[in-house]
Chains A and B, each alone.
Chain A
Amino acid sequence: MNISPDEIVLFKIPANIFGRHFYIDINMTLVGTWGIMLFLWLFFRYITKNFNSSFKMTRLQNMVEVLVKFLREQVEMMMKRKADDFIPLIGSLFIFILVANWSSLLPIPFYVNNNLEWYLPPTSSISTTAGLSIVVMSSVIVYGMAEQGIFGYFKRFFEPIFILFPLNILSEISSFVSLAIRLYGNIMSGGLLASILFVLAPLVLPGLINIYGLLAGTIQPYIFSVLAMVYISAGMGDPSESEMEELETLELERI
């Protein structure tokens, strides 16, 4: 029984760097991530190709508009800033994790060395979630430095008093570690529970637990993006008065 898609190596690529020969393992995490990226790219290209601004829109366009509106409202509610700067990052994280979690229901078989292996979602591997967490961490630093300057950003670690510097660094690191482990643990435990219950009661229970996994897989990307927003807005400090006024006028225009 495989519990991690990292262990399913589909094929190996020989590589030669600085005279050292070795193999690069192309495992199911990579292949699944590439597949989801390709699917999302083709899907959204197909939808955005025939966009129109009249009321006679296609069903898919309606769906995408609802999704984007939901994301923009969440970003403006959580961050108290204009959503345009953050929606590419937060929206991509949300949609990628959502589709990756839902792809756990796809029954795709792989033959690896004459063994039958089933598809596992890339978010049930700690490498994917740690990678996403590193993306969030680096964007916290970049957004914070762009907003407050380099010294203004690092001043945050010496507050309220400079003795607390190690503790501040530690809490910063542990928040990103917990961000990665929360997503990984939820998705991995759902799949593991389903495969254990498949041994005990094969007909009914795995289906029910997969429905619960679908629920968890819908909530987790929301949690992930909300926490990313919280960390980014904590790194950027309080919004200035002019930004608040701009946001309020935008909201009034929308109403």
Chain B
Amino acid sequence: MDMGLVWIAVASVIGAAVAVGLGGIGPSFAEGFAVKQTIAAMAQQPDEASNLRSTLFVSMAMLESCAIYALLVAMILIFSNPFWNYGISVVAGK
């Protein structure tokens, strides 16, 4: 196997792992903070609980979309990497 292809594979796997790992940190901290604040608000004002819950769901989904973007980049790197196809074509054309 050509060494260039190996390096492309290594770089894309490490890139995917780093993307998911670092991309998961921020949204998980943010979601934890949002849930903490919402629970505190619910404990203070139980009458507003349903209103708070629907707002929490919306904001959680919007926070989670950051992690989803990181996952998408990782999946592109693993499943449909454009550089991998280019490397294959270069090796095949040699």
Whether the Cβ atoms of A219 and B57 lie closer than 8 Å is yes
- The stretch of A10-18, A80-88, A177-185, A204-212 in contact with B is A177-185
Interface size class of B (residues with CB under 8 A): 10 to 19
B53-80 interface code vs A (CB 8 A; 1 in, 0 out): 0000110011011001101100100010
Q: Is A98 an interface residue (CB 8 A)?
A: no
Task: Give chain B's interface secondary structure class.
Answer: helix
Whether the Cβ atoms of A219 and B61 lie closer than 8 Å is yes
Complexed CA–CA distance, A178 and B63 (Å): 12
Whether the Cβ atoms of B68 and A226 lie closer than 8 Å is no
Instruction: Tell me which of B58, B64, B72 contacts A226 (CB under 8 A).
Output: B58
Whether the Cβ atoms of B57 and A182 lie closer than 8 Å is no
Whether the Cβ atoms of A181 and B65 lie closer than 8 Å is yes
Whether the Cβ atoms of B65 and A178 lie closer than 8 Å is yes
Complexed CA–CA distance, A226 and B79 (Å): 32
With A3-B79, A192-B75 in contact, is A223–B61 under 8 Å at CB? yes
Q: Is A222 an interface residue (CB 8 A)?
A: yes
Whether the Cβ atoms of A181 and B57 lie closer than 8 Å is no
Q: How many residues of A contact B (CB 8 A)?
A: 14
Whether the Cβ atoms of A181 and B58 lie closer than 8 Å is no
B residues in contact with A189, CB < 8 Å: 68, 71
Q: Is A233 an interface residue (CB 8 A)?
A: no
B residues in contact with A220, CB < 8 Å: 61
B residues in contact with A181, CB < 8 Å: 65, 68-69, 72
A residues in contact with B75, CB < 8 Å: 3, 192
Whether the Cβ atoms of A185 and B72 lie closer than 8 Å is yes
Smallest CB–CB gap between A2 and chain B, Å?
A: 11
Smallest CB–CB gap between B71 and chain A, Å?
A: 6
B residues in contact with A227, CB < 8 Å: 58
Smallest CB–CB gap between A232 and chain B, Å?
A: 16
Q: Is A186 an interface residue (CB 8 A)?
A: yes
With A3-B79, A192-B75 in contact, is A222–B57 under 8 Å at CB? yes
Whether the Cβ atoms of B68 and A182 lie closer than 8 Å is yes
Complexed CA–CA distance, A219 and B79 (Å): 28
Complexed CA–CA distance, A182 and B64 (Å): 9
Complexed CA–CA distance, A3 and B79 (Å): 9
Residues of A within 8 A of B (CB): 3, 178, 181-182, 185-186, 189, 192, 219-220, 222-223, 226-227
Residues of B within 8 A of A (CB): 57-58, 61-62, 64-65, 68-69, 71-72, 75, 79
